[in-house]
Amino acid sequence: MRRIFAGLGLAALISAGAVTAHAADAASAVMATITRMTDAVNRGEMPVAYAAFIERPSIVEDGAPYRWQGKGAPKAWIESMGANAQAHEMKAIEMRLSAPSRIETTRNRGYAIVPGRLSYTMKDGHAEHADGTLTFSLQRAGGTWKIETMTWTGPVAH
């Protein structure tokens, strides 16, 4: 009887280890998608950035019109952000991510909270930044994580 319980205990520990390893792998894959999209935007590689999203995502950002949803939302979002940058005479913009404060996954769904710093240089040469938080919901299809929803929140830049 003790052997049966000992065997069950060992099986439970092995199973828990596999679940933990799977969760860590999933969290890494979620963060890789987020980083790939952000890095692509920073480099101006928009097709790579757009490919990180599902076909009909939702994006919420602090620039008008504040929300983009549906087919073509990533492109419309980038175009709006570009127009905003131009209107405010920004020369260079860059988003840097910090370590995620939370990533959760369950089978084919993911949720991530990632602090970030948006830095930009104005036409006159002075730099400003905005610290905020990016929140994502993601879907996994065919082994690939894609961004379903992205939201930026934070105070006004200074």
Q: Residue 55 corresponds to which tokens in the numbers above? A: 């076909």
At 43, phi and psi to the nearest 5? -85, -10
Residue with tokens 């994580």: 145
Of 84, 99, 94, the closest CA to residue 34 belongs to 99
Q: Quote the pTM value.
A: 0.83
Domain ranges across the chain: 2-153
Q: In which band, very low, low, confident or very high, does the pLDDT at 3 lie, cut at 50, 70 and 90?
A: low
Q: 2-153 adopts what CATH topology?
A: Nuclear Transport Factor 2; Chain: A, (3.10.450)
Other Cβ atoms closer than 10 A to 82: 12
Residue with tokens 């003790």: 2
Of 27, 44, 62, the closest CA to residue 136 belongs to 27
86-143: pLDDT as tens digits: 998 998 889 999 999 999 999 999 999 999 999 999 999 999 999 999 999 999 988 8
Q: Residue 155 corresponds to which tokens in the numbers above? A: 């105070």
